[in-house]
């Protein structure tokens, strides 16, 4: 059993927890993930590690309530326990030789982007962060990004906070003005990452995209995170959980990934509503 040490609500649908898991904290690196079960009857879900503290032995997770399991997880409080908490899993984000990086995060994907930005900052790289949200009420981790970024731009789709527009607006402005990056790393909704890749393509700047959003059980067994990469004119199949979650953004077939993701939306909504009803009756 794994104790929930702290719980913090970041916005109406996004929650942060710190879990007592010293073995995981000791080895965790940015970009990796864990698999948890809320209780002994629960399903496995993968969540990216949003931070790890070796000194306290705690691992930070940030999750959005979108389905049955995250709904159940959201009802847990500090002092309560999770059944399982396994990791770290996945390939850590590549950092070697990168001196100037642009981190582009969207929505809850910023929870994944934040430890990556912090790692580059700690390594002495020049960090530019562009983070985007639908509106002011959904903004998370603003202070954390400011602390680890040499330059930070915050965007909202409706203009209610920060700059008005999506993350591709300032990114394109920077690239057209001659800004050079060793790497652009993007983490967020698939459609956002697709357009970040297209914005960078004319400038031939390497782009890494985290395909964490398409992972389901995190073990490679379900096939839900199957991904098609176009490598040297050949189509190659990979799995986000065991081969990633980071991939060369120029190789990813985003349209196929988005189409596959929509297959599960009805099932996820039904399971979420059933779980909500259980808590209401309780």
**In the predicted model, is pLDDT for residue 121 greater than 90?**
yes
Same domain (yes/no): 194, 127: yes
Whether 109 and 222 share a structural domain: yes
Please name the residue ranges forming H helices in 201-247.
240-243
Whether 223 is in a domain gets the answer: yes
Mean pLDDT of 114-133: 96
Q: How does residue 222 score in pLDDT terms, banded at 50, 70 and 90? A: low
Interatomic CA distance for residues 20 and 165, integer angstroms: 39
Are the CB atoms for 46 and 34 separated by under 8 Å? yes
How many structural domains are present in the chain? 2
Instruction: For residue 271, tell me if it sits in a domain.
Output: no
Q: Please answer whether residues 130 and 171 qualify as being in contact, where contact means their C-beta atoms are separated by less than 8 angstroms.
A: yes
Question: Do 72 and 11 sit in the same domain of this protein?
Answer: yes
CATH number at residue 234: 3.40.50.80
- Residue 11 near residue 140, CB atoms below 8 Å: yes
Residue 35 lies in a domain: yes
Question: Which residues span the domain enclosing 196?
Answer: 100-262
Within a domain: residue 95? Answer: no
pTM of the model: 0.84
Measured between alpha carbons, how far is 31 from 112 in angstroms, rounded to an integer? 7
39 within a domain of the structure (yes/no): yes
Q: Are residues 143 and 222 in the same domain?
A: yes
Sheet strands (E) in the chain? 2-11, 14-20, 33-37, 45-53, 58-64, 81-82, 84-89, 100-106, 126-133, 151-156, 163-164, 183-187, 207-210, 226-231, 234-239, 246-248
How far is 12 from 72, CA to CA, in rounded Å?
15
- Find the CATH number of the domain harbouring 34: 2.40.30.10
What is the structure's pLDDT at 273?
Answer: 47
Q: Could you report the per-residue pLDDT of 38-93, keeping only the tens digit for each?
A: 999 888 888 989 999 999 999 999 998 887 888 898 999 999 999 999 989 988 89
Task: For 142-175, write each residue's pLDDT tens digit.
Answer: 999 999 999 999 999 999 999 999 999 999 999 9
Residue 24 lies in a domain: yes
Distance CA 82, CA 59 (A): 13
């Amino acid at each position: 059993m794994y104790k929930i040490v702290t719980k913090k609500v970041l916005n109406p649908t996004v929650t942060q927890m710190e879990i007592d898991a010293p073995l995981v904290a000791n080895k965790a690196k940015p970009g990796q993930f864990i698999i948890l079960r809320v209780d002994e009857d629960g399903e496995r879900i993968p969540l990216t590690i949003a931070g790890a503290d070796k000194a306290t032995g705690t691992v930070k997770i940030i999750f959005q309530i979108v389905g049955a399991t995250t709904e159940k997880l959201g009802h847990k409080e500090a002092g309560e326990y999770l059944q399982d908490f396994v990791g770290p899993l996945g390939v850590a984000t590549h950092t070697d030789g990168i001196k100037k990086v642009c981190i582009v995060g969207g929505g809850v994907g910023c929870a994944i982007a934040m430890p990556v930005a912090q790692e580059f900052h700690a390594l002495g790289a020049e960090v530019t962060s562009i983070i985007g949200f639908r509106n002011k009420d959904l903004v998370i981790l603003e202070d954390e990004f400011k602390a680890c970024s040499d330059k930070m731009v915050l965007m909202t789709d409706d203009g209610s906070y920060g700059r008005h527009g999506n993350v591709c607006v300032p990114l394109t402005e920077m690239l057209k003005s001659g800004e050079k990056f060793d790497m652009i790393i993007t983490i967020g909704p698939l459609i956002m990452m697709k357009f970040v890749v297209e914005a960078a393509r004319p400038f031939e700047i390497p782009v890494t995209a985290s395909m964490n959003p398409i992972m389901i059980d995190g073990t490679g067994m379900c096939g839900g995170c199957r991904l098609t990469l176009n490598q040297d004119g050949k189509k190659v199949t990979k799995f986000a959980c065991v081969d990633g979650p980071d991939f060369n953004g120029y190789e990813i077939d985003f349209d196929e990934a988005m189409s596959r993701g929509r297959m599960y939306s009805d099932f996820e909504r039904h399971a979420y509503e059933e779980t909500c009803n259980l808590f209401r009756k309780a």
